[in-house]
Amino acid sequence: MSTPPKPSLLIVDDESAQMQALCNTLEQEGYVTTGFTSTADALAALRQKAFDLLLTDLQMPGMNGIELLNQAQAIDGDLVAIVMTGHGTLDTAIEALKTGALDYIQKPFKLSVVLPVLERALTVRRLKVEKAVLECRVLERTEELKVANRELEAFSYSVSHDLRAPLRAVTGYAEMLLTDYLAQLPEDAQRLLRNVSAGAQRMDQLINDLLRLSQLGRQPLSRQQFELGALARQVFDSLSADCAGRRIELTLADLPPCAGDIALLRQVFANLLSNALKFTRQRDPACIEIGGRVEQGVLTCFVKDNGAGFDMKYADKLFGVFQRLHRAEEFEGTGVGLSIVKRIIERHGGRIWVEAAPDQGATFSFTLPMAQTE
């Protein structure tokens, strides 16, 4: 294990004997010292190498300690300075603290006083250096994220335009064959052609879901206060209109006002209620319940159904992209919808979880910020 380098001190005092005595004393205490009686020579040395601490006398001919401190910190912004002063110049020492010095020590020096001051100054110096390193890393990381976002946007553009062009051709030609030449095709050919058309439509839906998922991280939230229950009712009515011939019973409890992006939260209810309607397809009646509660200032909302449910040992996979717990032949879908829901809820500062059992339905619960009262 390598030994850490000794702290380096730049000591400036126009009295040569005093400067040399301080250098010798601190050398014996484990410091590396460089002393000057000239402020110009001290600044020249600072331009050549880095020092941990600057100890400067206040009263010096030509350039006083405050002026030296200003010029030294212009060269090295992380340099920590301590001023040395006699009893008669205490007010000037306080002025130096206002200028940027960390501390001061009075002449004549006592080693028991000087050493703790130096230790505190070195701690500040280390923290300043670490802060600068962290800020540099943050800037680098920010630039990396900007590049990644630009690449993601370019990919999204390519998906939405370049990849969709051949997909539209496949879908279009398949539909033309099914419309214009169906009677001339053998039954097996018709079945294969329908599979091609269905596969192309499924791929188009996957592209739509992936684009929506990628945009969620960049889309700014437009927060407002609104009635959560009214939003849930609107979404359910729009979806249940496509379920003609089914008996669907909705229980909608009174929900408190919510604060969030109404467009994104409409997507949350659309995805959760669409799933509830899909997985209760074999139930008569299909029972769906929307409710909520407030505990310790946190609003928890849930969407419950009496549908197919699933084994909870797979619950950790449910919110991943392309994760499905049922066969496509049983229930359609791309496996992206719940990933979208999770991302929206987390962007609102909430969390989402599920409780379910095979053939006993599922309950999706999520937390949201409550509306602020006047």
Q: Which of 163-167, 173-177, 184-188, 232-236 has the lowest mean pLDDT?
A: 163-167
pLDDT for the residue 374: 41
The tokens describing 72, both together, are 């030294």
Which tops the pLDDT comparison, 244 or 363? Answer: 363
Which range of 33-47, 61-75, 136-150, 235-249 scores highest in mean pLDDT? It is: 33-47
Q: DSSP strand E in the chain: where? A: 8-12, 32-36, 53-57, 80-85, 103-106, 223-227, 248-252, 257-261, 286-295, 298-305, 352-356, 362-368
pLDDT for the residue 47: 92
Distance between CA atoms of residues 130 and 7, nearest Å: 16
Which tops the pLDDT comparison, 327 or 320? Answer: 320
pLDDT for the residue 329: 45
pLDDT for the residue 160: 66
pLDDT for the residue 303: 93
Which tops the pLDDT comparison, 98 or 350? Answer: 350
Q: In the predicted model, is pLDDT for residue 215 greater than 80?
A: no
Q: In the predicted model, is pLDDT for residue 300 greater than 70?
A: yes
Distance between first and last Cα of the chain: 61
pLDDT for the residue 282: 84
pTM for the whole thing?
Answer: 0.52
pLDDT for the residue 364: 92
Quick one: average pLDDT of 35-49? 90
At position 357, the amino acid (one-letter code) is: A
Quick one: average pLDDT of 17-29? 88
Nearest to 51 by CA among 32, 69, 70, 28: 32
Helix 164-180 to helix 187-216 angle (10° resolution) is: 150
Query: Mean pLDDT of all residues in the chain?
Result: 81
Quick one: average pLDDT of 144-152? 74
Q: What is the DSSP letter of 303?
A: E
Q: In the predicted model, is pLDDT for residue 313 greater than 70?
A: yes
Distance between CA atoms of residues 128 and 134, nearest Å: 10
DSSP 198-218: HHHHHHHHHHHHHHHHHHHTT
Which tops the pLDDT comparison, 11 or 97? Answer: 11
Which pLDDT band, with edges at 50, 70 and 90, does 302 fall under? Answer: very high
Helix (H, G, I), strand (E, B) or coil at 14: coil
Which pLDDT band, with edges at 50, 70 and 90, does 176 fall under? Answer: confident
Quick one: average pLDDT of 97-104? 75
pLDDT, tens digit, 9 for 90 and up, residues 231-275: 999 988 888 777 777 888 889 988 888 888 888 898 889 889 988
- CA distance to 128, 315, 318, 335, 344, per residue, from 323 (Å): 47, 10, 6, 5, 18
